[in-house]
Structure 1
Amino acid sequence: MSIRVLQVGPGHGQQGGIASVLSQLARSREQFGRAGVAVSFFETRGFRNLGDLLAFALIDMPSFVRATIRADVVHFHVSERGSFYRKFALFVVARLLGKRTVFQLHSGNFERFIQDADRVTRLLAGLFIDKTDCVIAVSTPIAKCLQHWRRTDAVQVVGNMALDAEHGAPTATPLACSRPYIAFAGRLSEAKGLDELIRAVADLVRRGRDIEVRVAGTGDMLRWQRIAAAHGLDERVVFEGWLDGNAKLAFYRGARLFCMPSHFESFGIATLEAMFCGLPVVGTRLGGFLDLVEDGVSGYLVDGHDSRGLAEAICKLVDDPEHAMRMGCVGLVRAQTCFRAASIVDRYVDCYRRVDTRGRSER
């Protein structure tokens, strides 16, 4: 018997983060179908203005009711702030309609969001996590964060996929580059550690390393160009903009290493993409990096906000290309062993079967 699962997450042109996760799930429809799971999608819009709030109430809510009626399980992909409030409102509707529900957290900053929130929000978070039928975290540290809210069963860990990198990396043509470069892919923000990366590279250039950083992602590019120029790196920090498909794979494969010194990171899809492309990783000792990177084996993990430690880790890989290549090969094997799309889909299917079986036994 087919289990009908409604995936609920961002749409309406939103990029990155959970939107990328849902895109990967949509591309895995055939494998879900072979396992007896029919997936459909409901797109939510961001709360950028009053018009979005009205559209959520007047358009999204009725559409969600119609989509939920046809589903057996409703899977909510949740982050903090607006994402949390939208998904909680829809969760209440799904429960009133008698549907089984799955809560999946994609935010590495959720614990701080709840700590800084008002009492009502903390109460809603507890209800959402404890009363849903299954809770999924994208990494082990995030699961530990959620477990103290979960009084019934354990939080499940299901990582993310990187389909393009997993299947397309061997055929991508590397970028031509005159000097070795460090690849960074993500939002252009302090939270992703871009400031520490720029300072670390400035330190290494002063020490005679001929390197540059290539940045793929969206954000306030002009601001970061000014910051790079202030460190004397105007010609050594190259902003590529948003990349996808073969262009993104070529971006990874042309690099010496991948660096993402995030201040918090729930999983790190870009890190997994880089691993599938054979790159060693320099990241921070937190969140999803702890599941992805074997410190000292497939890359290096440093403390957050530590530009000096970051510089030393990068230096080890820049100065010894063969060492960097060996680490990248180990990371590729780890990605293929632990994070293949087929095994990730199987974990989702197991969760849905347990939830659906429990629901049928209670009826």
Structure 2
Amino acid sequence: MSDRRGNHAHLPHDAAPLRVLHVGPGQGQRGGIASVLAELGAQRGRFRHAGIVVTIFETHGFENIRSLLSFLLMDIPRFLFAMLKGVDLIHFHVSVRGSFYRKFMLYLLARLCGKKTIFHLHAGNFQYFLTRSGWATRKAVLCFVRGADAVVAVSSAIATELKRHQGAARNLYVIGNTAYGAQLAAGAALRDSHDAKGADMTPYVAFAGRFTEGKGLDELLRAVASVNRRGLQVQLRLAGTGDTNRWTRAAIDYGVCDQVHFVGWLQGDAKLAFYRDAAVFCMPSHFEAFGISTLEAMFIGCPVIGTRVGGFLDLVEEGVTGYLVGCGDADELAERILQLVESPDLARAMGRQAVSRASSRYSVDAIVSQYVRCYRNVGESKGE
């Protein structure tokens, strides 16, 4: 059983494990939820030690007719077969648009089969999606959220939104994400060494995510232009995928084309080095449910600048591990970038605090314990 601190006791040797099926994206899809599922799948051993058997069920997307047919003709039969093999609890990882509709269809099948379910919301723009949907979608959301045996929010802000708008107050858990690769590198990545970066290297601001308006790229480009106009030359290095042509044109318009570099989709050691060598990590999102790339940067010891929305309110301790700025405020963003680039001692101190905060709140052991507590509570509860 779990205690109030989220620690878990091991099951007796003769007790049957609790079998949990995680449902989320896969089949070549990228993004936040796919990263979360990869992290959970990599920790099967930890879950098994706590008496939880984790299985990952990947669905096709709704990008085109072919993928839609693959979902209908392949994923649904596979899902039914997975339930027949024996599942105690089905954990649905939900975002907006196609992600919601896919999971809702599978949720209805799970309820028809008498399975316990968890609704896990990962989207920072879910309310935006909901208010622009028709009555049928709004009713489906209420059915899903209120009908699930437990609801998980990826941050405190998302939990508040669910309680306010969807009425999810019963069995509501806040469980953040983790970043095991970055966590493993954290001990060796503290940025105390003055020669960690070449003395002649132009400092750069790091960004990692999708190249979209919602990630605050326009404000970030304007902020870099403002910093450069003040006489401090900085680069902006953008890791991820998206419409690079659009943002290259924007960089030209703002006069910072020579300072902006698209470095592609980074993984493994290349991604960690990207965070480690940066002067500051910036993610000025308009909405952000959690912020996995922000957590990765924190584990590596990089001070971060986010916005006062969503998961950043949990991740960033204002003035200690980094700064939070107003959403869409390029001037405030420029001020904070300037402050950290011009004060490397302050940046290193914030980086050390960022490692400490990430390690204490979002380590694999801490997050797995929270999942186990949730599963035990749901698994041992009696159905209505």
> Which interval holds the TM-score relative to the shorter structure?
over 0.9
Equivalent in the alignment of 1:46 = 61
Mapped pair 1:158 → 2:175: yes
What aligned pairs does 1:86-105 form with structure 2 within 5 A after superposition? Answer: 86-105=102-121
Equivalent in the alignment of 1:34 = 49
TM-score by length of 2: 0.91
What aligned pairs does 1:249-268 form with structure 2 within 5 A after superposition? Answer: 249-268=272-291
Residues 84 and 297 of structure 1: is their aligned pair in 2 closer, same or farther, counting only changes over 3 Å? same
Equivalent in the alignment of 1:110 = 126
Paired positions, count = 361
Mapped pair 1:211 → 2:234: yes
Q: Given that residues 163 and 169 in structure 2 are in contact (C-alpha distance below 8 angstroms), is that contact kept between their aligned partners in structure 1?
A: no
In structure 2, C-alpha distance between the alignment counterparts of 1:111 and 1:126, rounded to whole Å: 12
What aligned pairs does 1:112-261 form with structure 2 within 5 A after superposition? Answer: 112-148=128-164, 149-150=166-167, 153-171=170-188, 178-261=201-284
Equivalent in the alignment of 2:13 = none
* Secondary structure of residue in 1 paired with 2:55: strand
Residues 89 and 313 of structure 1: is their aligned pair in 2 closer, same or farther, counting only changes over 3 Å? same
Q: Given that residues 175 and 250 in structure 1 are in contact (C-alpha distance below 8 angstroms), is that contact kept between their aligned partners in structure 2?
A: no
Shift of 1:150: 3.4
Equivalent in the alignment of 1:12 = 27
* Secondary structure of residue in 2 paired with 1:315: helix
Equivalent in the alignment of 2:6 = none
* Secondary structure of residue in 2 paired with 1:235: helix
Q: Given that residues 162 and 168 in structure 2 are in contact (C-alpha distance below 8 angstroms), is that contact kept between their aligned partners in structure 1?
A: no
In structure 2, C-alpha distance between the alignment counterparts of 1:81 and 1:138, rounded to whole Å: 18
Q: Which amino acid aligns with 2:345?
A: E
User: For residues 56-90 of structure 1, what are the alpha-carbon distances to aligned partners after superposition, in whole Å with 9 as ceiling and x for unaligned?
Assistant: 11111111001122211000000010000000000
Residues 162 and 35 of structure 1: is their aligned pair in 2 closer, same or farther, counting only changes over 3 Å? same
Q: Structure 2, unaligned stretches of length 5 or more?
A: 1-15
Q: Given that residues 214 and 286 in structure 2 are in contact (C-alpha distance below 8 angstroms), is that contact kept between their aligned partners in structure 1?
A: yes
Mapped pair 1:349 → 2:349: no
Shift of 1:297: 1.4
Mapped pair 1:288 → 2:311: yes
Shift of 1:221: 1.3
In structure 2, C-alpha distance between the alignment counterparts of 1:296 and 1:268, rounded to whole Å: 18
* Secondary structure of residue in 2 paired with 1:4: strand
Q: Which amino acid aligns with 1:216?
A: A
Q: Which amino acid aligns with 1:194?
A: L
Identity of aligned residues (%): 52
Residues 48 and 153 of structure 1: is their aligned pair in 2 closer, same or farther, counting only changes over 3 Å? same
In structure 2, C-alpha distance between the alignment counterparts of 1:309 and 1:139, rounded to whole Å: 24
Shift of 1:344: 0.2
User: For residues 24-50 of structure 1, what are the alpha-carbon distances to aligned partners after superposition, in whole Å with 9 as ceiling and x for unaligned?
Assistant: 001110000000000011111110122
Q: Which amino acid aligns with 2:239?
A: A
Shift of 1:168: 2.3
Tell which deviates more after alignment, 98-107 or 231-240.
Answer: 231-240
User: For residues 133-180 of structure 1, what are the alpha-carbon distances to aligned partners after superposition, in whole Å with 9 as ceiling and x for unaligned?
Assistant: 010000000001111323561421000011110002455796767211
* Secondary structure of residue in 2 paired with 1:213: strand
User: For residues 232-261 of structure 1, what are the alpha-carbon distances to aligned partners after superposition, in whole Å with 9 as ceiling and x for unaligned?
Assistant: 212211111000100000000001110000
In structure 1, C-alpha distance between the alignment counterparts of 2:172 and 2:332, rounded to whole Å: 33
Q: Given that residues 149 and 171 in structure 2 are in contact (C-alpha distance below 8 angstroms), is that contact kept between their aligned partners in structure 1?
A: no
Residues 240 and 68 of structure 1: is their aligned pair in 2 closer, same or farther, counting only changes over 3 Å? same
Q: Given that residues 264 and 286 in structure 1 are in contact (C-alpha distance below 8 angstroms), is that contact kept between their aligned partners in structure 2?
A: yes
Q: Given that residues 145 and 168 in structure 2 are in contact (C-alpha distance below 8 angstroms), is that contact kept between their aligned partners in structure 1?
A: no
* Secondary structure of residue in 1 paired with 2:29: coil
Tell which deviates more after alignment, 166-175 or 288-297.
Answer: 166-175
In structure 2, C-alpha distance between the alignment counterparts of 1:294 and 1:345, rounded to whole Å: 23
Q: Structure 1, unaligned stretches of length 5 or more?
A: none
Equivalent in the alignment of 2:82 = 67
TM-score by length of 1: 0.96
In structure 2, C-alpha distance between the alignment counterparts of 1:5 and 1:147, rounded to whole Å: 25
Residues 210 and 125 of structure 1: is their aligned pair in 2 closer, same or farther, counting only changes over 3 Å? same
In structure 2, C-alpha distance between the alignment counterparts of 1:2 and 1:44, rounded to whole Å: 25
In structure 2, C-alpha distance between the alignment counterparts of 1:48 and 1:12, rounded to whole Å: 12
Superposition RMSD on alpha carbons, in Å?
A: 1.5
Residues 239 and 15 of structure 1: is their aligned pair in 2 closer, same or farther, counting only changes over 3 Å? same
User: For residues 188-232 of structure 1, what are the alpha-carbon distances to aligned partners after superposition, in whole Å with 9 as ceiling and x for unaligned?
Assistant: 111101110010000110110111111110111122122112222
Equivalent in the alignment of 2:297 = 274
Q: Given that residues 202 and 234 in structure 2 are in contact (C-alpha distance below 8 angstroms), is that contact kept between their aligned partners in structure 1?
A: yes
**Structure 1 stretches (4+) deviating beyond 3 angstroms?**
169-177
User: For residues 78-136 of structure 1, what are the alpha-carbon distances to aligned partners after superposition, in whole Å with 9 as ceiling and x for unaligned?
Assistant: 00100000000000000111110011000000011111110111000001000000100
